[in-house]
């Protein structure tokens, strides 16, 4: 948590003024019992009603000043904590954007989203409470003790015994109950998991008639959740009675020993009452502190999760002032030179010893089973990951020499997951090229076989796409993602299984259009379908992280057993031979 306090630096003034005003307010509050003691000891004793009214006015004035200070303090605290949240959010987002695929894989996008949203909100609340209350409560405790000391030194002993005792009670209750809340959170996660599972798997569950068992399982988890909640509640419920007891014992002690002191003539009746009041103030302050600690604990946990993200550095660092020599025209578009790649630090290569040259303007198919390394192979080209060994050249220049913008401009990718964003069709397509004109967009849509359904919508390019493209079918989404990539003017177009949701006819039409209308572009098509890659200039067959063969359909059919096997599983012999 404290590491994040650097984000308060820009709001240093507010962060100091907030607590300062809060303490001023607390000081006014501490004066109240003394004034009241005066009213009793001077006003009542002497029957001086004008004195009482004068002192009463002082009380009202103290309240008013307290109000002013407190409002000022809230203002500064609100400003500082919101400023804190805003800067932190901005920085964290910048940091997340610097991640390469490797870090994204490692952390997972779902947790990144929670950390960006609820974790930051939680710390923001924590900071706000901290500025408002953290100094106030100890200040009141200390102030009350000092005030008591000024009244009578010996009676202060009661305060010095009671305050730490209350502190200890608060500490113990928290110490034993907070871990329980972690268990509660775990059960709650499980309840959420079970619900999600049951919604997603409803067909399978009903197909196997397992509804009753699922209900039993859910009841059991809910029961566990309840048990933990009750246990935690039982401990937390001790806090109020225990502190109440301590404070009242202290009050009894004040009356008893205070009585003795009054008997001796050292203090007055009004001062005993003031001491009782100070005791109550300490109780209130410490209970507020307990609530604050709960909020702060939550905030620290969130801060820890945020710091975890900050601690991850991107493994891919771009050369932003890229000053590489321009390559000759006859350099290969993409060249793998002895490339090996491992995802984690495990050292187990997902790709090993890849040597592959893709020439400019070529259409290359990449085929292989799941887990054979197809996607990994092409993810290296736009430098989503860095190679572990060997070298990867784009246009004859090492991929690490390019700036990130240059690379994105050069290479257009259609990812496996057909993902669209909220906004219009036009907004989405423009991702490929922000300055694309409508005619460019239409052309891309046509090639991607998406023009028809976009035109069918009354809004055309302004057709709204919902989050995740929910209002479109899988095939429609896939075609739009292809159009998005096509509109960019990159020389290299990578299609990662971009037609899996399309029927054969549309797939074929799309490939034909891409082949005939994007001359000069280097196209790399990844697919599991033999029919999709069979007409490529060159087919790369992947098997278990290695290249099992490179060649044309006919060549590979003749001498690559893996390829032959794949083809025959999907096509009849006759179809496979058929040109």
CB 143 within 8 A of CB 26: yes
> From start to end of 425-475, where are the E strands?
464-465
| CB of residue 93 to other proteins, shortest distance in Å | 5
Select the residue interacting with other proteins from 323, 330, 346, 569 (CB under 8 A).
569
Distances 457 to 37, 452, 507, 512 between C-alpha atoms, Å: 80, 9, 22, 25
Select the residue interacting with other proteins from 24, 183, 269, 300 (CB under 8 A).
269
- Using rule CB under 8 A, residue 165 touches other proteins: no
- Using rule CB under 8 A, residue 225 touches other proteins: yes
| CB of residue 16 to other proteins, shortest distance in Å | 17
- Using rule CB under 8 A, residue 245 touches other proteins: yes
CB 161 within 8 A of CB 337: no
- Using rule CB under 8 A, residue 185 touches other proteins: no
Per-residue contact track with other proteins, 280 to 299, x per CB under 8 A?
A: x-------------------
| CB of residue 328 to other proteins, shortest distance in Å | 26
What is d(CA 208, CA 203) in angstroms, rounded to the nearest whole number? Answer: 9
| CB of residue 3 to other proteins, shortest distance in Å | 21
How many Cβ atoms are within 10 Å of 159's Cβ, its own excluded? 23
Residues 130-149 that bind other proteins (CB under 8 A): 132
3-class secondary structure, 57: helix
Select the residue interacting with other proteins from 9, 208, 355, 452 (CB under 8 A).
208
Q: Which of 330/578 has CB closer to other proteins?
A: 578
Select the residue interacting with other proteins from 182, 192, 291, 554 (CB under 8 A).
192
Per-residue contact track with other proteins, 351 to 370, x per CB under 8 A?
A: -----------------xxx
CA 472 to chain centre: 27
Residues 371-390 that bind other proteins (CB under 8 A): 371-372, 382, 384
Residues 18-77 that bind other proteins (CB under 8 A): 25, 32, 36, 39-40, 43-44, 47, 49, 52-53, 55-56, 59-60, 62-64, 66-67, 70-71, 74-75, 77
To the nearest 10 degrees (0 to 180), the angle between helices 156-200 and 269-311 is: 40
Residues 408-427 that bind other proteins (CB under 8 A): 408-409, 413, 415, 417, 419, 421-422
Select the residue interacting with other proteins from 506, 545, 548, 556 (CB under 8 A).
506
Select the residue interacting with other proteins from 121, 183, 300, 357 (CB under 8 A).
121
- Using rule CB under 8 A, residue 155 touches other proteins: no
Nearest-Å Rg of the Cα atoms of the chain is 36
H/E stretch holding 371 reads none
Sign of CA dihedral 289, 295, 297, 299: negative
Per-residue contact track with other proteins, 392 to 411, x per CB under 8 A?
A: ------------xx-xxx--
Select the residue interacting with other proteins from 5, 6, 12, 93 (CB under 8 A).
93
What is d(CA 424, CA 31) in angstroms, rounded to the nearest whole number? Answer: 64
| CB of residue 401 to other proteins, shortest distance in Å | 17
Per-residue contact track with other proteins, 524 to 543, x per CB under 8 A?
A: ----x--x---x--------
The bridge status of strand 363-367 relative to strand 538-543 is parallel
Select the residue interacting with other proteins from 101, 149, 176, 181 (CB under 8 A).
101
Select the residue interacting with other proteins from 197, 446, 537, 546 (CB under 8 A).
197
What is d(CA 76, CA 130) in angstroms, rounded to the nearest whole number? Answer: 12
- Using rule CB under 8 A, residue 210 touches other proteins: yes
| CB of residue 167 to other proteins, shortest distance in Å | 18
**Comparing C-alpha atoms, which of 514, 491, 297, 281 is closest to residue 407?**
491
Select the residue interacting with other proteins from 273, 366, 387, 436 (CB under 8 A).
273
> Which residue stretch of 139-147, 170-178, 428-436, 437-445 sits at the interface with other proteins (rule: CB under 8 A)?
428-436
What is d(CA 511, CA 449) in angstroms, rounded to the nearest whole number? Answer: 10
| CB of residue 29 to other proteins, shortest distance in Å | 9
3-class secondary structure, 214: helix
Tell me the backbone φ, ψ of residue 163, rounded to 5 degrees. -60, -50
Distances 423 to 15, 458, 461, 552 between C-alpha atoms, Å: 40, 16, 10, 42
Question: 61-78: b or e for each residue (b if 16 or more CB lie within 10 Å)?
Answer: ebeeebeebbebbbebbe
The bridge status of strand 423-424 relative to strand 464-465 is antiparallel
3-class secondary structure, 30: helix
CB 449 within 8 A of CB 506: yes
Select the residue interacting with other proteins from 484, 521, 538, 553 (CB under 8 A).
484
């Amino acid at each position: 948590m404290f590491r994040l306090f650097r984000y308060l630096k820009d709001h240093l003034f507010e962060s100091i003024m907030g607590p300062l005003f809060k303490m001023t307010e607390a000081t006014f509050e501490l004066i109240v019992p003394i004034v009241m003691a005066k009213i009793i000891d001077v006003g009542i004793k002497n029957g001086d009603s004008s004195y009482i009214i004068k002192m009463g006015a002082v009380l009202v004035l103290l309240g008013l000043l307290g109000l002013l200070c407190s409002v000022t303090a809230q203002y500064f605290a609100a400003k500082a904590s919101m400023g804190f949240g805003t800067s932190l959010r901005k920085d964290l987002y910048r940091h997340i954007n610097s991640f390469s695929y490797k870090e994204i894989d490692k952390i997972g996008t779902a947790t990144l989203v929670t950390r960006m949203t609820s974790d930051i909100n939680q710390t923001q609340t924590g900071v706000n409470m901290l500025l408002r209350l953290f100094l106030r409560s100890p200040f009141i405790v200390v102030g009350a003790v000092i005030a008591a000391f000024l009244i009578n030194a010996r009676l202060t002993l009661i305060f010095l015994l009671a305050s730490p005792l209350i502190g200890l009670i608060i500490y113990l209750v928290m110490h034993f109950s907070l871990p329980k809340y972690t268990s509660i959170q775990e059960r709650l996660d499980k309840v959420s998991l079970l619900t999600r599972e049951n919604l997603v798997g409803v067909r399978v569950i009903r197909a196997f008639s397992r509804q009753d068992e699922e209900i039993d399982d859910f009841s059991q988890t809910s029961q566990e959740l309840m048990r933990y909640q009750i246990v935690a509640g039982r401990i937390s419920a001790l806090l109020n009675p225990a502190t109440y007891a301590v404070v009242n014992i202290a009050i009894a002690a004040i009356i008893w020993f205070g009585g003795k002191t009054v008997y001796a003539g050292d203090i007055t009746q009004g001062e005993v009452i003031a001491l009782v009041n100070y005791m109550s103030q300490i109780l209130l302050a410490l209970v507020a502190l307990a609530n604050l600690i709960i909020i702060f604990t939550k905030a620290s946990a969130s801060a820890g999760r945020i710091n975890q993200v900050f601690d991850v550095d991107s493994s891919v660092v771009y050369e932003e002032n890229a000053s590489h020599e321009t390559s000759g025209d006859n350099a290969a578009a993409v060249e793998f030179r002895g490339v090996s790649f491992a995802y984690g630090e495990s050292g187990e290569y997902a790709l090993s010893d890849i040597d592959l040259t893709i020439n400019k303007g070529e259409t290359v198919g990449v085929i292989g089973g799941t887990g054979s390394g197809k996607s990994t192979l092409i993810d290296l080209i736009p430098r989503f990951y860095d190679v572990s060994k060997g070298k990867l050249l784009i246009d004859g220049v090492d991929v690490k020499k390019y700036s990130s913008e240059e690379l994105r401009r050069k290479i257009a990718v259609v990812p496996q997951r057909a993902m669209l964003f909220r906004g219009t069709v036009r907004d989405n397509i423009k991702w490929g090229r922000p300055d694309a004109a409508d005619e460019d967009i239409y052309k891309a849509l046509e090639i991607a076989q998406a023009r028809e359904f976009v035109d069918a919508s009354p809004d055309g390019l302004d057709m709204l796409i919902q989050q995740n493209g929910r209002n479109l079918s899988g095939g429609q989404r896939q075609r739009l993602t292809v159009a998005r990539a096509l509109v960019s003017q990159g020389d290299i177009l990578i299609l990662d299984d971009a037609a899996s949701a399309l029927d054969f006819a549309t797939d074929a039409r799309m490939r034909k259009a891409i082949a005939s209308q994007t001359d000069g572009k280097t196209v790399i098509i990844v697919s599991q379908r033999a029919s999709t890659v069979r007409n490529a200039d060159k087919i790369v067959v992947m098997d278990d992280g290695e290249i099992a063969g490179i060649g044309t359909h006919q060549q590979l059919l003749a001498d690559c057993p893996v390829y032959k096997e794949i083809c025959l599983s999907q096509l009849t012999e006759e179809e496979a031979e058929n040109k």
